[in-house]
Amino acid sequence: AQSVTQPDIHITVSEGASLELRCNYSYGATPYLFWYVQSPGQGLQLLLKYFSGDTLVQGIKGFEAEFKRSQSSFNLRKPSVHWSDAAEYFCAVVASGSYIPTFGRGTSLIVHP
Amino acid sequence: EPEVTQTPSHQVTQMGQEVILRCVPISNHLYFYWYRQILGQKVEFLVSFYNNEISEKSEIFDDQFSVERPDGSNFTLKIRSTKLEDSAMYFCATGLAGSLEQYFGPGTRLTVT
């Protein structure tokens, strides 16, 4: 069965530190990959997406993600975290031929001053 | 920037009551979706809607659920007889034709007592 795993439920970092949020998927073929962020009281906002081509994709708010086919991963990174980045982050996958995303459980990012 | 809006932000209802959750899509979007997120669990797909009919639905979307566009602008999710297990955050999302990107509303928190 298709699945998306975000192994970290909570991540705590200090402001200015680097960040990596993990996402692994299990699909038969390379799917379309997304990262969303949800700030308190807000909807899910698309940070970035990967469909094909360059495996390192840039998104909004200084985020980037790297698709690694051999590891079935699509980890989200940011070199220097800001306090405003504290939010819930969701990895999502859309199988080729579909348009319905399967979401991971989410990772809650806590930023310490 | 155009955004998806949802009302109410929080709804409390008694078991067995009917609820209607409302969504106002981005104006030129043609695809509409409902998702739910039970507290602490993944965001789950409920239903997609295009051209005034359901295009896909999940096993969660049983006969207790229905969707419609009553006036050509609002997109509603109705739960006919709510159960305790319907307590969740319900997200509306909309998208353009031919696009995998979905734009999410802020959600309605439904609490069934």
Stretch B76-83: mean pLDDT, rounded?
A: 97
Stretch B57-68: mean pLDDT, rounded?
A: 96
Q: CA-to-CA distance for B44 and B56, rounded, in angstroms?
A: 13
Chain A neighbors of B48, CB-CB under 8 A: 99-100
Chain B neighbors of A92, CB-CB under 8 A: 43
Q: What is the pLDDT of residue A1?
A: 66
From residue A2, alpha-carbon distances to A46, A92, A104, B42, B105 in Å are 21, 12, 11, 14, 26
Q: What is the pLDDT of residue B6?
A: 96
Domains and CATH numbers, chain B: 5-99 (2.60.40.10)
Q: Where are the domains of chain A?
A: 3-112
Stretch B2-13: mean pLDDT, rounded?
A: 94
Band the pLDDT of B42: cuts 50, 70, 90.
confident
Q: Which helix (H) or strand (E) holds B45?
A: strand B43-50
Stretch B82-86: mean pLDDT, rounded?
A: 97
User: How many other C-beta atoms can be found within 10 angstroms of the C-beta atom of residue A36?
Assistant: 24
Q: CA-to-CA distance for B65 and A28, rounded, in angstroms?
A: 32
Q: Which of A3, A38, A45, A47 to mutate to test the interface with B (most CBs of B within 10 A)?
A: A38
Q: CA-to-CA distance for B42 and A58, rounded, in angstroms?
A: 25
Strand pairing report for B108-112 and B88-95: antiparallel
CATH 2.60.40.10 matches A3-112: yes
> For residue range A56-91, what is the model confidence (pLDDT) as tens digits?
999 999 999 999 999 999 999 999 999 999 999 999
